[in-house]
A = this chain, B = another copy of it.
């Protein structure tokens, strides 16, 4: 017997050795699993393929996997990989390839940044920038083509507003549009801003931007691909292991597919088809898409109810408080929304609708209720992106219709200097109302809407918990009723974001059978003072058990 046992042990050792050698046991001061049955452990074992085998006590797991590689992160804290439920990867990458105008204090500074960047451009190339926000300027007024024409009389200049819902062109760029922009006509769902004489001022809002998009030189394929790569790289450097890319055309899915085929997708991309267009048609024809690597899928469509609050494009039930007679605009009509949602419904595609104003949100909920009909209690997981300003009557409707709220904490703290001017003291109570949304029983996924806000999820955690700006103002937070705890904020960026992408069985928490997607932080985000959430130290980001980012020591 003894000999047999020894032989068995030997054989086991020989057989198990190579397998076990590829198993990793991670030990840390603390692992926040986000699994409510076992929220804090000290160790996690995962196999060579990146599947979590077990979580638990360090000594127990080290004993259970004796041949495993031991990855000891010392006093660090491990949390599930962060998932940004709403970002724009190509847009983020383009910020590295176009002029970054974010934080410009005035128009003179913008001209200065444009001049500096222009030196890198060949003759005739368009000068593209993004990130301006008139609310940051002394006069808070929309800019005009004239502000650019002196410096750029010949070269076309086209500058996206920070929220992507407006563009600012110089006269050279406007000349590229064949149609006369003067007069009093407006495109559906868009605004051409004009002076008193009816001449276009240079700012095009929402669907009016399409007039320029149709004529500006298309981005070449190499630049587009480079933007994706740079965007994904920036994401993993900030602890993101997943991004819900909120609206991409079919050609961008193809671009992602090529990168995934080459193993160049370092995190999980949950792409949404952009509008009722070719990508949705592709899903309806071919079925929901998932790349074999597990790093890329498309099973959702992004629709658009209205514009944005900053440019007063958000559709409101009543007039803007600071612009009487203006109730914003619908980007898709109620009928278009319903038609697109119905198509998605028939194809088994999840719908995620951009809705900012209280009218935009109500239209989206109305469309969902109508289209889903008896299927409202099914596992549809339809979402509203932003859900920024909700009528008190609509807060409970989200829960009743099982609609997920996909919200961006940093929007609140970016918008708080002027949001109440736009909507007044009554409607502001339903704005950025995370606590109310949660309390109504709604799933709350968090994101950033990068590059409109920073890709850095630490800023989102901080904003969710403090409702204060980087300086900690207002002290104690803006409408502090709506604060989340650090745990709730972290859950919004992990398990809840996973749920919003049908991914909670695979990611979002650290449990046996799930993927080893995690972040190593020097500090414990559930224990640090609130103010320290902004400056958590991201030591490493792992996807499928492999590091995709490691901070240099």
Contact = CB atoms under 8 A, between A and B. Distances in A.
A445 to B, nearest CB: 15
Contacts of A392: 36-37
A485 B487 contact: no
Nearest to A38: B429
A431 to B, nearest CB: 12
Given A435-B485, A485-B484, A487-B435, A479 B40 contact: yes
A486 interface: yes
A524 interface: yes
A483 B481 contact: no
Interface string A476-514: 110111111111100000000000000000000000000
Interface string A528-553: 10000000000000000000000000
A476 B37 contact: no
Contact of A481 (B39, B429, B476): B39
Nearest to A441: B441
A431 B32 CA distance: 17
A6 interface: no
A436 interface: yes
B39 A429 contact: yes
B526 A476 contact: yes
A441 B400 CA distance: 13
A342 to B, nearest CB: 31
A527 B392 CA distance: 24
Contacts of A479: 39-40
Nearest to A40: B479
Given A435-B487, A441-B441, A487-B435, A481 B38 contact: no
Given A36-B392, A436-B36, A487 B476 contact: no
A475 interface: yes
Contacts of A436: 36
A219 to B, nearest CB: 44
Interface string A397-432: 000000000000000000000000000001001000
A477 B487 CA distance: 12
Contacts of A487: 435, 480-483
Nearest to A488: B435
A528 to B, nearest CB: 7
Contacts of A36: 392, 429, 436, 481
Contacts of A477: 526-527
A488 B482 CA distance: 9
B429 A476 contact: no
Interface in A267-309: none
A11 to B, nearest CB: 35
A449 to B, nearest CB: 24
Given A435-B487, A487-B435, A481 B526 contact: yes
Contacts of A483: 485-487
A122 B323 CA distance: 80
A527 B478 CA distance: 9
Interface of A: 32, 36-40, 392, 426, 429, 435-436, 441, 475-477, 479-488, 524, 526-528
Given A39-B481, A477-B526, 19 more contacts: A32-B481, A36-B392, A36-B429, A36-B481, A37-B392, A37-B429, A38-B426, A39-B429, A40-B479, A435-B485, A435-B487, A476-B526, A476-B528, A477-B527, A480-B487, A481-B526, A482-B487, A483-B487, A484-B485
